[in-house]
Amino acid sequence: MAIALQRALEKKVLIGGEWVESESGDRFEVRSPGDGSLIGTVPRCTGGDVKRAIAAAIEAQKVLARMSVKRRAELLWRAHEIAERRAEDDAVVLCREVGKTIREARDEIRTYSNPHFIEAAEGLKRFRGLINPSTQEDSLDKRLLITHEPIGVVGVISPWNWPADIPNIAVSHGLAAGNSVILKPASTTPFSAIAIAEIYQEAGFPAGSVSVLTGPGPTVGAELARNPGTNAISFTGETKTGESITAIAGIKRLLLEMGGNGPLVVMDDANLEAAVEAAIIGCFYLAGQVCTASERILLHDAIHDEFVDRLVARTKQLRVGDPLDEQTDMGPLNNRANADKVQAHLDDARARGGTFLLGGGSDGLYFEPTIVDGVTSDFLMAREETFGPVAPIMRFGSLDEAIELANETPYGLQGAAFTSSLRTAFLLGEGIRCGTVLINETNNYWDQLAPFGGMKKSGLGRELSDWILAELTEVKQISIDISKVKQ
């Protein structure tokens, strides 16, 4: 069934509850990576626009902080209803601007982004604090109230690969916690973020509590990070961008979700059929453009040949093509800069003598699913995040060697391993330095109510559910000596 496309969108930005143009008056075009067609135009915001949004957000936050928990939860539930009602239209726009397949786009909206409204509404009710008696022998009359206060204004700087789900984690939980939020999406995918702002506005959040500003990262994103009016930055993107934000942000809460180079370890006692399926999802879901992707496949010598034969056969079944076609398994890469990086990694692998078992070619932004054998630690794809549809195969002979290889990159987001031994599962789980280690599961898996985040250069802090509520609040202790109050 063909999907009917809307005419080109012309959206404004949301500042202080009003949809407005940038003070610059400039706009920029957004084109589909699938076929180059115009999706629409959005304002090119400036640092001045950021300052206006911050001023509105500071006022709105005072209103939000006084709003009852029940009312905030009701608004989030209403936002969920609105988001579900418009999910199919939003999925089509998301599919077109990212280049992910329509099935992946629906998955992002319905399975990942929309549940955040509810998780935030319900999490908020649990996240209320504690009253404890003092633990000190000489202070038994003291009561310690431990509360979570809103942190203030939260800047949310988000990437293009999950343009609805990722920002909505911080926006929903940020609002739930009583903060106002300013969202700055990636420039190739602004419409999914604008859709999120429309949803919150229609739900009835106070004017200024959610703003959305489109425009260049080094201008709009950097001003959000640098401006003392923002109290926290929730950034998701490349490690080098996260490092530049850290350098300018000054003293404020930083929640950083950055790049990965996830290992998928397959031991000699693994269920190979399951491990191959895990590699297919890990390497080729969203054409490999996922922070949690299987960026390195580490195979025990004993199962290397069988695994590789199975992986090649299974990968040949993947259909690459128009992301709007319901039958497509893999669409194009999102943008030229990312395609150039993937190409550089493929060229480097060729120059170093890697064996291309499948793929290696490309046509514009469409890259073939590629399997490269004989990869060693000096290859670019072993050291850095490739962010493309590539399965680099590396080998090991022992458990210790597998753990050493898994840990040899500066990243530590999600590691995965397949084994049928519980002892090996524990040793891998404890030995791999990643925020999450998944045993007998693909790297591209996460639970919406479990902590998510990276170690080393992959991140700082944890998101999802109660963990992001903790990141976006200040913990306060109020100590009261009840022996001194009037009886």
User: Residues with catalytic annotation?
Assistant: 257, 291
Sign of CA dihedral 45, 50, 51, 55: positive
Q: Which stretch binds ligand NAD (CB under 6 A): 61-69, 107-115, 118-126, 233-241?
A: 233-241
**Smaller CB distance to ligand NAD: residue 205 or 235?**
235
Contact status: 49 vs ligand NAD (CB under 6 A): no
**Smaller CB distance to ligand NAD: residue 9 or 455?**
455
- The full DSSP string for 291-326 is TT-EEEEEEEGGGHHHHHHHHHHHHTTPPB--TTST
Give the shortest CB-338-to-ligand NAD separation in angstroms.
Answer: 7
Q: Which of 150, 206, 454, 461 binds ligand NAD (CB under 6 A)?
A: 454
Q: Where are the alpha helices (DSSP H) in 204-294?
A: 222-226, 239-248, 272-284
Token reading at 156: 């949310």
**Smaller CB distance to ligand NAD: residue 193 or 265?**
193
DSSP 3-state of 77: helix
Residue 145 pairs in a beta bridge with: 131, 478
**Residue ranges in 332-371 that form contacts with ligand NAD under rule CB under 6 A:** none
**Smaller CB distance to ligand NAD: residue 334 or 419?**
334
**Residue ranges in 130-169 that form contacts with ligand NAD under rule CB under 6 A:** 157-162, 166
Q: Which stretch binds ligand NAD (CB under 6 A): 25-33, 255-263, 424-432, 479-487?
A: 255-263
Is 153 within 8 Å of 54 (Cβ atoms)? yes
Is 390 within 8 Å of 368 (Cβ atoms)? no
Give the shortest CB-431-to-ligand NAD separation in angstroms.
Answer: 21
Is 142 within 8 Å of 477 (Cβ atoms)? no
DSSP 3-state of 187: coil
- Residues in contact with ligand NAD, shown as a per-residue x/- string from 272 to 311 under the rule CB under 6 A: -------------------x--------------------
Q: What angle do CA 427, 428, 432 make, to 5 degrees?
A: 120
Is 221 within 8 Å of 184 (Cβ atoms)? yes
The single residue listed with the structure tokens 């700087």 is: 157
Q: Which stretch binds ligand NAD (CB under 6 A): 6-14, 51-59, 181-189, 299-307?
A: 181-189
Q: Which stretch binds ligand NAD (CB under 6 A): 23-31, 68-76, 113-121, 221-229?
A: 221-229
- Alpha-carbon distance 442 to 444, whole Å? 5
**Smaller CB distance to ligand NAD: residue 175 or 222?**
222
Cα 80 to chain center, whole Å? Answer: 20
Token reading at 30: 């957004």
Interface with ligand NAD by CB under 6 A: which residues?
157-162, 166, 184-187, 217-218, 221-222, 225, 236-238, 241, 244-245, 257-260, 291, 385, 387, 413, 454, 458-459
